[in-house]
């Protein structure tokens, strides 16, 4: 789209303003350039002009959302913004269907488009560092930040995070992958230690971060609040130095989460480049004496600054303004992206009858009830909560689509009068919109597996009054549906659909768009059946005391709760398929208004271990309407010398087809597709022998399979 015309904002378009505008257009934002000897020399020259105290000053942020400036070397401050669902920090913005909703799209091309949109939105607000994406594993449905993360599977997460990051950074904005690492619960997040073996860490919880660094070349990483194996992430040598900066070769900026630093000397020595939002611990009072007594080497501080300066120079931020007048603060083009994300992510889980799609010509009355029907619930709570200019609620989306020819009744809860209950009973269709919101699903706390109080009863009352009930669910993952699922014909999961969610729900309900979202998480039947249930909370008997020094320089002790990841590799569908049990709805599942058939799987019978294996198959739309299928490829290793999950996702493709059309799919499997982490050998290995390639539309429905012998 074109930006707003400046003459409408500046009636007196002076020659001086024209010169300034020309200058800003000539220095438009750029994608980062590779490191070079010239950048290295410039960064080192900047450091050489600084005193020790000035160097230490630059290790901490300022004014909540900025890096610290240093006028003596011509260094301005650089701006940050919370992200994931929109560029949150600096006022109203475009609110997208991000996080788990992005994962529900299973669409890598859309992930790139979403990243580009967020990059443009960031530039329009003069933002340099976008604090996203969040890529932690949805180990449990209770985690309060699942909605802003992605899925339960590291391969799906990595496949979406890489193009997302590339999209953001193509717009001249540094993406920040977070939260490194194992930030898989929100309760007691400052004092909880994720205690996990290295194989589990390498196979489940680190691969998305690894892909962000080695494939997307992300320019910033944010450490998490929690401890990992007893050591806070911001001073964790294994995570920050051995793995991130060592094995993966990360060249960007490693920053703390806000107030997630607990020991300045330990953080400086163990990889943390930037303490945010201010230097509570990495300051001159703590670090200068440590340099003087030999605890900290000044060269270590220089290395932190080199990372900051190189990143800033790669983007050219020191030579040009970040603001680009070609990007609109209120972007009509990005509203279309927000709608696309909502349409692609909404998952149809149940459709008896089938009741859907509805015919708008036959709907003369509709009752829309429930707390999430109005106003719009675009996202969960906390630092990712984006405030949209004009969010569309489910109530307004349906009313807008039906127009004046239909009567629309609305109530946020169970009506308090018999006449209103007769309106529900007599409606052609009832939409019950329930779930969570920014107060009940948010950063800093975990949520319940059950719906908020009163919502189960609301659904039951609606179902008792009218058999044509559609339940729309707002949540970052699965919830307890046991009281009412068998009483309603339709269940739709909307996740947190962003500002265009109401429009998207209406278009899907009335058949203007095929429901093409697929589950990025398994839906447990009950919380006590979840694979993480036994291991989600620590045992008080295992608590330990962490002795450290507070920001006042005095000794300070923390009581550390140890969360033992006894579920190991058996997260989500890995558990269900290995145990031979069945969740309520499996990973990858989702209904459509059409049908699809898989055929013609071709896999080479033999291949050399470590080589790339090409798998091909066909997907045919056997129904009467256009639709999209997510073809999923799982690999099984029955001859492995160690215990492995029964199957693991290693490839997928979103295929859009007209009725009767067939799509030919090719998926290439690299060495990692067949590997596991051998902890004694400290490397990825492949056990030669039989592998099984499985193809289908969910973790439980893989109608095609073929054997492959790796030798």
* Set 223, 257, 324, 514: catalytic member: 257
Question: Tell me: the pLDDT tens digits for 674-706?
Answer: 999 999 999 999 999 999 999 999 999 999 999
Residues 54-76: what's their mean pLDDT?
97
Do residues 617 and 704 lie in contact, with contact meaning Cβ atoms separated by under 8 Å?
yes
The per-residue pLDDT for 264 is 96
Do residues 281 and 246 lie in contact, with contact meaning Cβ atoms separated by under 8 Å?
no
Residues 244-261: what's their mean pLDDT?
98
The per-residue pLDDT for 28 is 57
Fold of 332-527: Rossmann fold (3.40.50)
Question: Tell me: the pLDDT tens digits for 183-228?
Answer: 999 999 999 999 999 999 999 999 999 999 999 999 999 999 999 9
The per-residue pLDDT for 387 is 95
The per-residue pLDDT for 552 is 84
Rounded distance between C-alpha atoms, residue 455 and residue 693, angstroms: 43
CB atoms within 10 A of CB 68: 19
pLDDT at position 341 over 60:
yes
Q: Which residues pair with 174 in a beta bridge?
A: 129
The per-residue pLDDT for 326 is 85
Residues 176-180: what's their mean pLDDT?
98
The per-residue pLDDT for 19 is 31
375 exposure class (CB count in 10 Å sphere: 0-12, 13-18, 19+): middle
Helix boundaries (H) for 221-368:
237, 264-269, 284-292, 298-314, 332-345
Helix boundaries (H) for 171-224:
198-200, 207-214
Q: Where in the chain is the domain with CATH 3.20.20.300?
A: 6-314
pLDDT at position 316 over 80:
yes
Residue with tokens 């983007």: 315
Beta-strand runs (E) in 370-521: 407-411, 429-435, 469-474, 490-493
Of 113, 121, 131, nearest to 387 (Cα)? 121
Of 278, 257, 256, 253, nearest to 267 (Cα)? 256
Q: Which residues pair with 176 in a beta bridge?
A: 220
**Beta-strand relationship, 613-621 and 662-669:** antiparallel
* Paired tokens of 526: 């009950």
- Residue 29 binned pLDDT confidence (cut-offs 50, 70, 90): low
Rounded distance between C-alpha atoms, residue 504 and residue 87, angstroms: 21
- Residue 2 binned pLDDT confidence (cut-offs 50, 70, 90): very low
Using alpha carbons, list the distances in angstroms from residue 407 to 362, 371, 375, 420, 515.
12, 20, 19, 13, 25
Rounded distance between C-alpha atoms, residue 697 and residue 347, angstroms: 13
pLDDT at position 18 over 70:
no
Using alpha carbons, list the distances in angstroms from residue 461 to 36, 417, 487, 627.
67, 13, 10, 34
pLDDT at position 462 over 90:
yes
pTM confidence score: 0.95
Question: Tell me: the pLDDT tens digits for 610-664?
Answer: 999 999 999 999 999 999 999 999 999 999 999 999 999 999 999 999 999 999 9
Question: Tell me: the pLDDT tens digits for 530-579?
Answer: 999 999 999 999 999 999 888 888 889 999 999 999 999 999 999 999 99
Cis, peptide link before residue 654, omega less than 30° from 0? no
Q: What are phi and psi of 430, to 5 degrees?
A: -120, 125
pLDDT at position 21 over 70:
no
Name the more confident of 636 and 22: 636
Q: Where in the chain is the domain with CATH 3.40.50.1700?
A: 332-527
Average pLDDT, the chain: 94
Determine the straight-line distance between the first and last CA of the chain, rounded to whole angstroms: 54
Rounded distance between C-alpha atoms, residue 544 and residue 570, angstroms: 27
| Residue 223 annotated as catalytic | no
290 exposure class (CB count in 10 Å sphere: 0-12, 13-18, 19+): middle
Fold of 6-314: TIM Barrel (3.20.20)
Instruction: Return the CATH number of 594-710, one of 2.60.40.10, 2.40.40.20, 3.40.47.10, 3.40.50.180.
Output: 2.60.40.10
pLDDT at position 589 over 90:
yes
Q: What is the DSSP string of 514-531?
A: ------SS-B-SSGGGST
Rounded distance between C-alpha atoms, residue 328 and residue 124, angstroms: 6
* Paired tokens of 196: 């996990």
The per-residue pLDDT for 84 is 83
Q: What is the DSSP string of 45-96?
A: HHHHT--HHHHHHTTB-BTTTBPPPBGGGTB---BEEE-SSS--TTSSBPPP
Of 368, 437, 436, 435, nearest to 407 (Cα)? 368
Rounded distance between C-alpha atoms, residue 325 and residue 10, angstroms: 14
Residues 67-83: what's their mean pLDDT?
96
Question: Tell me: the pLDDT tens digits for 414-441?
Answer: 888 888 899 999 999 999 999 999 999 9
Of 104, 190, 118, nearest to 149 (Cα)? 104
- Residue 274 is given by DSSP the state B
The per-residue pLDDT for 274 is 98
Q: Where in the chain is the domain with CATH 2.60.40.10?
A: 594-710
**Beta-strand relationship, 613-621 and 596-602:** antiparallel
Cα-based torsion angle of the residue sequence 412, 414, 417, 421 in order, rounded to the nearest 10 degrees: 100
pLDDT at position 120 over 60:
yes
Rounded distance between C-alpha atoms, residue 680 and residue 678, angstroms: 6
Do residues 337 and 85 lie in contact, with contact meaning Cβ atoms separated by under 8 Å?
no
Do residues 10 and 17 lie in contact, with contact meaning Cβ atoms separated by under 8 Å?
yes
- Residue 229 binned pLDDT confidence (cut-offs 50, 70, 90): very high
Q: What are phi and psi of 704, to 5 degrees?
A: -105, 135
The per-residue pLDDT for 26 is 38
The per-residue pLDDT for 268 is 98
pLDDT at position 16 over 80:
no
* Paired tokens of 307: 């990372």
pLDDT at position 497 over 50:
yes
Helix boundaries (H) for 598-675:
none
What does the H/E/C string look like for 321-359? CCCCCCCCCCCHHHHHHHHHHHHHHCEEEEECCCCCCCC
The H or E element containing residue 575 is helix 573-579
């Amino acid at each position: 789209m074109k930006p707003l015309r400046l003459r409408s904002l500046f009636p007196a378009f002076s020659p001086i303003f024209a010169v300034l505008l020309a200058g800003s257009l000539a220095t438009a934002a750029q994608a980062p350039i590779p490191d070079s000897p010239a950048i290295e020399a410039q960064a080192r020259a900047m450091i050489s002009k600084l005193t020790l105290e000035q160097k230490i000053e630059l290790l901490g942020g300022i004014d909540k959302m900025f890096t610290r400036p240093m006028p003596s070397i011509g260094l301005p401050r650089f701006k940050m913004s919370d992200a994931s669902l929109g560029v949150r920090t600096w006022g109203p913005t475009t609110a997208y269907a991000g996080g788990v909703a992005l994962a529900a799209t299973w669409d890598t091309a859309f992930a790139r488009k979403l990243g580009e949109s967020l990059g443009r939105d960031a530039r329009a607000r003069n933002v340099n560092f976008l604090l996203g994406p969040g890529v932690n594993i949805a180990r449990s449905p209770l985690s309060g930040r699942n909605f802003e993360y992605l899925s339960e599977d590291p391969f799906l997460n990595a496949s979406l995070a890489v193009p997302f990051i590339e999209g953001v950074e193509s717009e001249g904005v540094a993406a920040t992958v977070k939260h490194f690492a194992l930030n898989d619960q929100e309760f007691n997040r400052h004092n909880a230690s994720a205690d996990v073996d290295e194989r589990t860490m390498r196979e489940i919880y680190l691969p998305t971060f690894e892909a962000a660094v080695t494939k997307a070349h992300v320019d910033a990483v944010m450490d998490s609040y929690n401890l990992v194996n007893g050591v806070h992430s911001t001073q964790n040598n294994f995570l920050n130095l051995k793995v991130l900066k060592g094995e993966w070769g990360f060249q960007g900026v490693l920053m703390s989460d806000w107030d997630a630093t607990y020991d300045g000397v330990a953080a400086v020595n163990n990889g943390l480049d930037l303490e945010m939002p201010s230097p509570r611990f990495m300051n001159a009072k703590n670090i200068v004496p440590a340099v003087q007594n030999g605890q900290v080497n000044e060269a270590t501080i220089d290395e932190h600054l080199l990372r900051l300066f190189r990143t800033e120079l790669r983007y050219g931020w020191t030579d040009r303004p970040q603001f680009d007048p070609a990007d609109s603060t209120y972007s009509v083009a990005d509203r279309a992206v927000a709608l696309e994300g909502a349409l692609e992510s909404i998952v149809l889980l149940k459709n008896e009858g089938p009741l859907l799609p509805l015919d708008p010509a036959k709907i003369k009355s509709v009752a829309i009830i429930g707390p999430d029907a109005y106003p719009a619930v675009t996202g969960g709570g906390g630092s990712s909560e984006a405030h949209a200019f004009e969010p569309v609620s489910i109530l307004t989306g349906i009313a807008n689509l039906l127009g004046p020819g239909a009567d629309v009744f609305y109530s946020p809860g169970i009506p308090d009068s018999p006449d209103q209950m007769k309106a529900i009973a007599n409606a052609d269709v009832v939409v019950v919109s329930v779930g969570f919101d920014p107060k009940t699903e948010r950063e800093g706390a975990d949520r319940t597996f059950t719906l908020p109080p009163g919502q189960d009863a609301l659904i039951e009352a609606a179902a008792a009054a009218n058999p044509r009930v559609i339940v729309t669910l707002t949540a970052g993952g699965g919830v307890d549906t046991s009281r009412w699922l068998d009483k309603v014909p339709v269940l739709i999961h909307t996740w947190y659909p962003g500002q265009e969610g109401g429009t998207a729900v209406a278009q899907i309900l009335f058949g203007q768009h095929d429901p093409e979202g697929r589950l990025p998480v398994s839906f447990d039947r009950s919380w006590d059946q979840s694979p993480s249930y036994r291991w989600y909370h620590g045992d008080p008997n295992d608590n330990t005391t962490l002795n450290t020094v507070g920001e006042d320089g005095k000794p300070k002790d923390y009581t550390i709760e140890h969360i033992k990841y006894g579920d190991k590799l058996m997260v989500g569908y890995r558990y269900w398929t290995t145990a031979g049990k069945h969740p309520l709805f499996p990973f990858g599942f989702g209904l459509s208004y059409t049908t699809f058939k898989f055929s013609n799987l071709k896999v080479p019978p033999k291949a050399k271990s470590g080589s790339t294996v090409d798998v091909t198959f066909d997907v045919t739309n056997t129904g009467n309407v256009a639709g999209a299928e997510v073809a999923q490829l799982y690999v099984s290793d029955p001859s492995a010398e160690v215990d492995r999950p029964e199957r693991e996702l290693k490839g997928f493709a979103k295929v859009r087809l007209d009725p009767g059309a067939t799509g030919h799919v090719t998926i290439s499997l690299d060495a990692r597709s067949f590997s596991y982490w051998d902890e004694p050998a400290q490397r990825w290995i492949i056990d030669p022998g039989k592998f099984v390639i499985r193809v289908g539309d969910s973790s439980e429905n893989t109608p095609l399979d073929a054997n492959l012998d790796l030798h």
